[in-house]
Amino acid sequence: MKNYVRFEFPSVPENVSFARSCVGAFAAQLDCTLEEIEEIKLVVSEAVSNSIIHGYKNQPHGKVLVMATILDDRIMEIMIEDNGIGIADIKQAMEPSFSSDPSRMGLGFTFMKSFMDELEVVSQPGEGTNIKLKRCFLVKDKEALA
Ligand SMILES: Nc1ncnc2c1ncn2[C@@H]1O[C@H](COP(=O)(O)OP(=O)(O)OP(=O)(O)O)[C@@H](O)[C@H]1O
Ligand SMILES: [Mg+2]
């Protein structure tokens, strides 16, 4: 582990953009492009929104924990955890276009899967949800390897 940031906040919607910007700023020290940082920010906002909207049903008194870790210059791990209602059927929740709310697109997990190299979901109904995301950035400058 080279560096990490860990922070917790109540489940109010204003904190989605805070968490997104915070992890984006932290990711700036990685050897990656601005576009890749935008992807990291997107997955963080999807996961944090899920905790607030689904985990805590938009109630403001829940706690969301975010931890981002840089393992070396090219590997980042992000963990988002809530103690909300949890997910009964994780496989179904991760299917593209599945949502328990008919007004939503059901694409949050699909974005997380497509922009990250690894996605792990641990969840128990009544206990909460823990999402681990991992992304490895390719070495772009081949000369740097020489
Ligand atoms: N932290 C969470 N706590 C409880 N349920 C969750 C959590 N995250 C996801 N879910 C469940 O998984 C489903 C799929 O999540 P996903 O993010 O893919 O879609 P969505 O949030 O419903 O829609 P969108 O992300 O497109 O607005 C949700 O509808 C919800 O039922
Ligand atoms: Mg979602």
Query: For the segment 36-81, what is each residue's pLDDT rounded down to a tens digit?
Result: 999 999 999 999 999 999 999 999 999 999 999 999 889 999 999 9
The full set of domain ranges for the chain reads: 3-145
Phi, psi (5° rounding) for residue 115? -90, -15
The answer to whether 123 and 130 have CB atoms below 8 angstroms apart is yes
How crowded is residue 145: how many other Cβ atoms within 10 Å of its Cβ? 6
145 has a pLDDT exceeding 90: no
Probe residue for ligand 1, chosen from 44, 49, 50, 103 as the CB with the greatest number of ligand atoms within 8 Å: 50
- The third-level CATH classification (topology) of the domain covering 3-145 is Heat Shock Protein 90 (3.30.565)
Catalytic residue status for 50: yes
What is the percentage of the chain residues whose pLDDT exceeds 90?
A: 90
Strand partners, 70: 3, 76
Half-sphere exposure of 68 (CA within 13 A, CB side): 24
For range 96-113, the mean pLDDT: 97
Neighbours of ion ligand 2 (CB under 5 A): 50, 108
Query: Which of the four pLDDT bands, split at 50, 70 and 90, describes residue 1?
Result: confident
For range 104-119, the mean pLDDT: 97
23 has a pLDDT exceeding 70: yes
Question: Could you give the angle at the alpha carbon of 34 between the alpha carbons of 65 and 114, nearest 5°?
Answer: 60
